[in-house]
Amino acid sequence: MAGNVTFTMIKPGAVKKNYVGAILKMINEAGFVIRAMKLTRMSGTQAASFYEVHQGKPFYDELVKFMSSGPIVAAILEKENAIADYRELIGATNPDNAAEGTVRKMFACSVTQNAVHGADSDENAKREADFFFSTFERFYD
Ligand code: CMP
């Protein structure tokens, strides 16, 4: 349903620090339903492709290197108003600017290592979900 699905990744730093369970708890308690999920690792080429919209920006190379440095958790989440509500739950991109109680305020350590990614539009949520998941890996009621 348009507007009710978002895509997220728990980034390598947060996976390495064993924050997956705590972050998923926050996601569930905020009312999101997990429709697809996997622990996987992107190659450098895959991370470059996933973030190609940022190609040429000063942080791109560091972002690609970090995002391919270890396993991530990718997930499709469903909730009414999913894109906006999820971005509110995770907080500002730079954890220094993230509100108290948000995922990034609690678990991020820098703007690159900012604990989680969240899609910023319906179009990108679809593209990002399709990047990781086949139709057989998605489970809707
Ligand atoms: P994410 O939600 O994964 O989407 C793009 C990522 O680029 C973002 O989180 C940050 O990790 C990173 N990013 C965005 N802006 C900057 C910036 N100004 N400096 C460094 N990294 C950035």
> Across the chain, what does the average pLDDT equal?
97
Q: Which of 8, 59, 121 to mutate to test the pocket of ligand 1 (most atoms within 8 A of CB)?
A: 59
Q: Please check the confidence at residue 1 and state whether its pLDDT lies above 80.
A: no
- CA-proximal residue: ligand 1, atom 12 (nearest): 112
Q: Please check the confidence at residue 55 and state whether its pLDDT lies above 90.
A: yes
Whether residue 61 lies inside any domain: the answer is yes
Give the relative orientation of helices 122-132 and 82-90 as an angle to the nearest 10 degrees. Answer: 80
Percent of the chain with pLDDT over 90: 97
Whether residue 99 lies inside any domain: the answer is yes
- CA-proximal residue: ligand 1, atom 2 (nearest): 117
pLDDT in tens, 83-138: 999 999 999 999 999 999 999 999 999 999 999 999 999 999 999 999 999 999 99
Q: What is the 140 CA–ligand 1 centroid distance (Å)?
A: 30
Rounded to 5°, angle at Cα 85 from 36 and 89? 85
CATH of the domain at 10: 3.30.70.141
* Tally of domains within the chain: 1
Domain span at 29: 5-115
Whether residue 22 lies inside any domain: the answer is yes
pLDDT in tens, 113-126: 999 999 999 999 99
Question: What span, in angstroms and rounded, lies between the C-alpha atoms of 123 and 21?
Answer: 28
Question: What span, in angstroms and rounded, lies between the C-alpha atoms of 54 and 47?
Answer: 11
- CA atoms lying within 13 Å on the CB side of residue 47: 22
pLDDT score for 84: 98
Whether residue 133 lies inside any domain: the answer is no
pLDDT score for 34: 98
Whether residue 141 lies inside any domain: the answer is no
Question: What span, in angstroms and rounded, lies between the C-alpha atoms of 27 and 29?
Answer: 6
Q: What is the 59 CA–ligand 1 centroid distance (Å)?
A: 7
- The residues pairing with 76 across neighbouring beta strands, listed in sequence order, are 7, 36
- CA-proximal residue: ligand 1, atom 1 (nearest): 117
For 113, the token pair is 């290592």
Question: What span, in angstroms and rounded, lies between the C-alpha atoms of 135 and 130?
Answer: 9
Note if the pTM is more than 0.85.
yes
Q: Please check the confidence at residue 24 and state whether its pLDDT lies above 90.
A: yes
2 vs 135: which has the higher pLDDT:
135
Active site residues: 117
Question: What span, in angstroms and rounded, lies between the C-alpha atoms of 90 and 40?
Answer: 21
CB within 6 Å of ligand 1 — which residues?
54, 59, 63, 93, 111-112, 114, 117-118
- Residue 64 · residue 46 · CB < 8 Å: no
Q: What is the 24 CA–ligand 1 centroid distance (Å)?
A: 21
Residue 11, classed as helix, strand or coil, is coil
pLDDT band at 3 (very low <50, low <70, confident <90, very high): confident
